A and B are shown apart, each in its own frame.
Chain A
Amino acid sequence: MSARPDSASAPAPPAARVAALSARHRAAQLGGGLRLRWGLLGLAVLAASLLAGLAIGPASLSVGAIVSDIASRLPGLRLGRRLDPLDGAVLWQIRAPRVVLGAIVGGTLASSGAGYQAVFRNPLAEPYMLGVAAGAGLGATAEIVYGPPGERSLLIAMAFVGALLAVAGAYALGRSLSGRDISTLILAGIAISLFLTAVQTFMLQQHTQSAAAVYAWLLGSLDTSGWSDVLLVAPYVAFSIAVLLAHRRVLDVLRLGDEEAEALGVHVARVRLLVVFASTLGTAAVVSVSGLIGFVGVVLPHTVRLLIGASYRVIIPLATAFGASFLVLADIVSRTALSPAEVPVGVMTAFVGAPCFALVLRATRSETL
């Protein structure tokens, strides 16, 4: 063999070159600074949305009085002044649970949507894939049609169980057909959804008197029965969001494809299963208390992607924050626009969100083209 002569002088990159690159990287960290600013903005928007949600309603409460009341309840501090008992009850027993639930539902739908989009590498993936919506819808319909009237906790349980069973069915069907193939799993989810929706339609056709109640549930609502709904979903949501946040760096590696991610030491099948499980569990939990609220899970992650960046290290936390804010704001509009009547929040999310997304899409596309 006559290998090309080694040039002993072939240098490692000179220190000056690496230093220059370090400086450039630090300059690029301004991008990181930008992300930090977006993060702070996300938190600020969330705080402002929560305050607006607490303040706006038939009984007007000033933001100052709300902040003062919250400060007065902070342990160890002697700040602020409590609201009078009636306003306090409106704030803490009626409005706060609804606002907090809205934030939880919006944040969970948005983060779960981002999780699905990452593991399926499909921009149209959304939290209701794999049959969550159809399963929850069938569970809720069965309870409304056959269950005792007014049993909200039973309705929540049935919707939750229905959602999980549907996803388990889709997963079992997908695996039985072709192992771990992603597209087969999605197709299995579609098949299960179509089947369950058909069963639901049949049930409704047999019990048309329940159609209005089922329809109202399907359109989504944040009308709660106090803190119990929040406490019910909190553990599932905390688990779901914690798993997604913990995996956000690995989700970026999945963008390289399964084989390269495996070559970089990622257990792709395990990550995919865990992220799908966490996203589904969170979605099933929030859907069981809020009904089907569309739009948030698809559009919020894309808005963050277009405005800030495509890294899941950014998308997961910011989509959670902006999804929470978005649903709280949409709920304000839904309960005040036609007050005292209420527009279903699922309708409002599309009314408010679709034009906003169109604007973002238009602005970012025109910049990149």
Chain B
Amino acid sequence: MKINIPVSKAKEIAQHQTIRLSESAILSAVNMNNILADFADVILFVTNFVKETFSRKFEVREFLHQCFAIGYKSLSLVSVTGFIMGFVLTVQSRPQLSNFGAETMLPGMVAISLIREMGPVITALICAGKVASGMGAELGSMKVTEQIEAMEVSSTHPMRFLVVTRVLAATLMIPLLVLYADGLGIVGSWFGVNLKGDVSFVLFFSQAFKHIEFIDLLPAVIKTFFFGGVIGLVGCYKGYHAGRGTESVGKAANSAVVLASLLILIVDMIAVQITDMLVV
């Protein structure tokens, strides 16, 4: 159980102990207790999630609804982001490549950058902002208004209905959104190239894909499943463990975005290291 203890209370406890402890020692102990309680909560949440994921009764309708909400409703945002990624990367890189007379390398360089790194990470970060915060706020407000408890008394497992469906939908949809963003990024890049030139669409695409190998695509796609899982788990965890007041809904949404974004970057760093080791 989490303990919130004010300094004045800590002073009082410190004065009444048989073995006298300093205020800071007691506050440190309380903080450590809270960290361990948080850690235990996370372990319990993930364990329950895994258990419910493999239970017989899967909420298919809710899962499809969440796929629609996460995938289809993020399309416009991901389209704009993907296009701008490719466009900006091209416009910014072109002068440098021109200096070395390597402008013909531009489509391949942009395609590799987009597919290997920029597409997955930036799309996942954008989705963390939209999807994780949405899940945090939605589940948080459901918790505050007793809707999760209402579900439980209707013989429905909230973990199965709310969390499993959302996490699996995010795990499935984020990779698809990333591939879509990669594609639009390459289209954006073609527009960028044509600002100061005249390159046909077919030529640009053949140049771009000439440099891409299967090994560029596979690790990038695999890591996006983990990004999706992180977004879903963090969003749901933060919402599910929101406090009782309305303020906690905002906090849940905010901390879901921050933590999901941070974890995406950490997962990316690990994925890059693993890919590097395996490829070399």
Q: Do A and B bind each other?
A: no
Could you tell me which A residues sit within 8 Å of B by CB distance? Answer: none
Could you tell me which B residues sit within 8 Å of A by CB distance? Answer: none
